[in-house]
Chain A
């Protein structure tokens, strides 16, 4: 992570709190600047030092009140330095307060429960939190695990096993070397039902607006409306919902909710998303 664009003077415009190398942060910053506004990318540490929160009686005042776009990095996988991690957590705690209390628009404003979202690494848990009933059973294990019985209607007929370390997915019982437990691939694993040749659609959601990524005629499925409901229940403002569709396109099931859609997903819907993003950030 390189150092962010730590400002020398007073800031105005959009503050993107992200890894300065994040392609989405860069594109959003550039797009906002092209639209005639100011924007800058700050990492967690510089962003935390930019804002102050003052408690005055029953009110809390955040200064400066600037629109924010949060794409906060996940916690490091390994603790390298206690002091560095302590400082990171202090900065995150301050940013949580700033983003939660500021009256300015915030994309990915923290929920009262924390900086995290309702999205879990477990799709089944995410579905439960999103109020989406009856998904496929999901198994997390230290070794590749076969299906726990037969699938029910709509779950798909193929049991897929995902290596969470190598991030590869293979159909059960096919287990090439990449998935066979070895010194290079030790899991853990996650497995779920899906179709042998699944069809996907991605819907990008911003608030109460949604955009599908493909040109296929899928209006009858109402994916946009269903996606905004799911995203709202999970406490997100900008995210992408990936749907799996039946071969006859008559049914669709949410497969994954991505709280930080990547640049490729956002590019596909940018003609609609971009201007709406500017409207939301600068009402």
Chain B
């Protein structure tokens, strides 16, 4: 049996012009403010700055080599060993890949279970962070981060002090205590 569509009866829900307005319609409507409070944060997010003024990931250094997420003070050999250790520690194919044993299939039955009603896990747009720390400006900024990172770490108290002074701690604490 042949089946034809009467094109004259097919109408899109939205015209092309309306479709391009949909993102603005959906996300720019008045919604509760989701930004973090922090009186000292007044920087405008990078996205609004012209490309040449933006700092890129590759321009940021925490004053040390973070290639393998470990302290870069060791030599190449030790670094390689550490990298192998990283892989060994983080790769446990049996325990990690077999996620079925750790999944409650009911939780993953449909998308609704993963979005807890009004308390939906937010996408990146909803988790709006307060303005970021001022980006590093040339070597001065890198030296500032290096100074914050290279506090003496001998003993748990000193190590805790170094952690508390680290950039990540300051960033997370500025957003409020995470619970």
Interface residues, chain A, with chain B CB atoms under 8 Å away: 1-3, 18-19, 21-24, 26-27, 30-31, 34, 43-45, 71-78, 80-81, 83-88, 111-123, 125, 129-131, 136, 140, 160, 162, 164-169, 171, 178, 190-194, 198-203, 208-219, 222, 224-225, 228-229, 232-233, 235, 242, 244-245, 247-250, 255-256, 258-260, 262-272, 274-275
Contact = CB atoms under 8 A, between A and B. Distances in A.
A198 B73 CA distance: 27
A120 B119 contact: yes
B179 A194 contact: yes
Contacts of A160: 177, 179
A120 B90 CA distance: 24
Contacts, number: 314
Contacts of A268: 60, 62, 66, 167-168
B29 to A, nearest CB: 5
Band of interface residues on B:
35 or more
B177 A194 contact: yes
Interface of A is mostly: mixed
A165 B132 CA distance: 20
A118 B160 contact: no
B115 to A, nearest CB: 5
Nearest to B63: A215
28 contacts: A27-B57, A31-B58, A73-B123, A76-B27, A77-B126, A113-B110, A114-B111, A115-B111, A121-B120, A122-B119, A171-B177, A191-B179, A193-B179, A198-B177, A200-B168, A201-B163, A203-B69, A210-B86, A214-B167, A215-B166, A216-B159, A216-B160, A217-B159, A242-B172, A248-B156, A258-B127, A269-B69, A274-B57
Interface of B: 13-14, 19-20, 22-37, 45-48, 51, 54, 56-58, 60-62, 64-71, 86-87, 89-92, 95-97, 99, 102-105, 107-116, 119-127, 129, 132-133, 149-150, 153, 156, 159-160, 162-164, 166-169, 171-173, 176-179
A19 B166 CA distance: 30
Contacts of B27: 1, 19, 73, 76
Given A194-B177, A267-B60, A73 B90 contact: no
Nearest to B38: A168
A76 B29 contact: yes
- The 5 lowest CB-CB distance pairs between A and B, nearest first, are A113-B108, A116-B114, A114-B111, A211-B69, A74-B123
B58 A270 contact: yes
Nearest to A250: B156
